[in-house]
């Protein structure tokens, strides 16, 4: 893992330099979903401080095992309404807000005494029906509305491009998110964050202006547990949580 983490850092520096950008403008979030707490601790020992998780229950279990470490936790998975309270209580960032009702719940449920949660609006730039995220057309209004909520600090936009695209189309989708950020900035909502770039599109995302890259496989190796198995399987098991 240590070597892979260093290789990813080197790749970020190289891609940023190639794009004429400062490597320090790019924040690396290590995506530790399905990985054991020990793997997070090992990365922390190598200086990694930002970690991303997709599944609330899994993340909270890890957080309690790692309570002795100063970690910035990022929630990056699809958000169910009945999980917003746990996300608002436990995470520092949330990247995957795709509707106003979720933004409102996260804001209202952010514990008093904690700073507003740093937030990104997830945009479905590929238009794939299966993918979460608001449409590009909805993004500006959602940013505007979410920016008025006291418990959130809206920082930017996040996307997960369609996998396995030819390079040119991959680039098109990443650049679409940057263009949207510029348009929204023009609407008077200054956004400083573009959360895009995964193991397979890291270089392209940095070339397209990413400021946060979310890297799992390239750091921790292939996930042996499928994300569906590792999740709390909400579609199979009724959640004991109730809407509140
Ligand atoms: C799993 C995941 C990542 C990391 O993907 P890798 O291909 O393993 O780097 C990044 N972002 C989101 C939203 C994810 O679900």
Q: Helix/strand/coil (H, E, C) string of 71-121?
A: CEEEECCCCCHHHHHHHHHHCCEEEEECCHHHHHHHHHHCCCCCCCEEEEE
Give domain status of residue 240, yes or no. no
Structural domains counted in the chain = 1
> What pLDDT, on the 0 to 100 scale, is given for residue 200?
93
Domain that holds residue 81: 2-230
Round to whole Å and give the CA distance between 244 and 242. Answer: 6
DSSP the chain: -HHHHHHHHHHHHHHHHHTT--GGG-EEEEE-TTS-HHHHHHHHHTT--EEEES-HHHHHHHHHHTTTS--EEEE-S---GGGHHHHHHH-SEEEEE-SHHHHHHHHHHSPTTSPPEEEEEEB-SS--TT--SB-HHHHHHHHHHHHT-TTEEEEEEE--PPTT--HHHHHHHHHHHHHHHHHHHHTT----EEE---TTTHHHHHHTT-SEEEESHHHH-S-SS-HHHHS--TTTS--S----
Q: How confident is the model at residue 173 (pLDDT cuts 50, 70, 90)?
A: very high
Specify if 181 maps to a domain. Answer: yes
Whole-angstrom distance between the N-terminal and C-terminal Cα of the chain?
40
* In the predicted structure, residue 54 carries a pLDDT above the cut 80: yes
Q: 241 CA to middle of ligand 1, Å?
A: 26
Given this model, what pLDDT does residue 2 score?
A: 74
From the list 35, 222, 65, 22, the residue with the least C-alpha distance to 51 is 35
Top-confidence residue, 127 or 122: 122
For residue 70, what is the domain's CATH number?
Answer: 3.20.20.10
114, part of any domain:
yes
Which pLDDT band, with edges at 50, 70 and 90, does 130 fall under? confident
The answer to whether position 236 is within a domain reads no
Average pLDDT score over the chain = 92
**Closest approach atom of ligand 1 to CA 198:** 9
Residue 213 lies in a domain: yes
Question: Is the model's pTM score more than 0.85?
Answer: yes
Decide whether any atom of ligand 1 lies within 6 Å of the 160 Cβ.
yes
Contact 230 CB / ligand 1 (< 6 Å): no
Ligand 1 centre to CA of 149 (Å) is 28
For ligand 1, is residue 184 a contact (CB within 6 Å)?
no
Query: Which of 7, 28, 52, when mutated, tests ligand 1's pocket best, judged by the most ligand atoms within 8 Å of its CB?
Result: 52
Q: What average pLDDT does the segment 136-140 reach?
A: 97
Question: Is the Cβ atom of 205 under 6 angstroms away from ligand 1?
Answer: no
Distance 188 CA to ligand 1 centre (A): 30
As a whole number, mean pLDDT of residues 28-55 equals 98
Whether residue 238 lies inside any domain: the answer is: no
Answer yes or no: is pLDDT of 43 > 70. Answer: yes
User: Does residue 198 sit within a domain?
Assistant: yes
Residue 241 in domain:
no
- The pLDDT > 70 percentage for the chain reads 92
Is 135 touching ligand 1 by the criterion CB < 6 Å? no
pLDDT at 227: 54
For 188-224, what is each residue's pLDDT tens digit? 999 999 999 999 999 999 999 999 999 999 999 998 7
Does 104 score more than 90 pLDDT? yes
Q: What is the pLDDT of residues 225-242, one digit of tens each?
A: 665 554 443 333 334 444
pLDDT band at 108 (very low <50, low <70, confident <90, very high): very high
| pLDDT at 120 > cutoff 70 | yes
């Amino acid at each position: 893992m240590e070597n892979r983490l260093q290789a990813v850092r080197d790749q970020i520096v190289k891609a940023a330099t190639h794009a004429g950008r400062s490597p320090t403008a790019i924040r690396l979030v290590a995506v530790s979903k399905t990985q054991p707490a020990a793997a997070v601790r090992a990365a922390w020992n190598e200086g990694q401080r930002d970690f991303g998780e997709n599944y609330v229950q899994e993340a909270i279990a890890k957080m309690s095992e790692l309570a002795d470490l100063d970690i910035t936790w990022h929630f990056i998975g699809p958000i169910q309404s009945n999980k917003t309270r746990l996300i608002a209580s436990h995470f520092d960032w949330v990247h995957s807000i795709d509707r106003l009702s979720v933004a409102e719940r996260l804001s209202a449920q952010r514990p008093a005494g904690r700073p507003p949660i740093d937030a990104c609006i997830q945009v479905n730039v590929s238009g794939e029906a299966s993918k979460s995220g608001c449409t590009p057309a909805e993004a500006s209004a959602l940013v505007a509305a979410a920016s008025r909520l006291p418990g959130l600090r809206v920082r930017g936009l996040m996307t997960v491009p369609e996998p396995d695209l030819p390079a040119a189309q991959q680039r098109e989708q990443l650049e679409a998110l940057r263009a949207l950020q510029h348009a929204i900035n023009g609407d008077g909502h200054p956004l400083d964050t573009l959360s895009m770039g995964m193991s397979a599109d890291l270089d392209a995302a940095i070339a397209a202006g990413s400021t946060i890259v979310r890297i799992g496989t390239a750091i921790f190796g292939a996930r042996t547990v499928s994300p569906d198995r590792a999740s709390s399987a909400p579609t199979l098991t009724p959640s004991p949580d109730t809407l509140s």
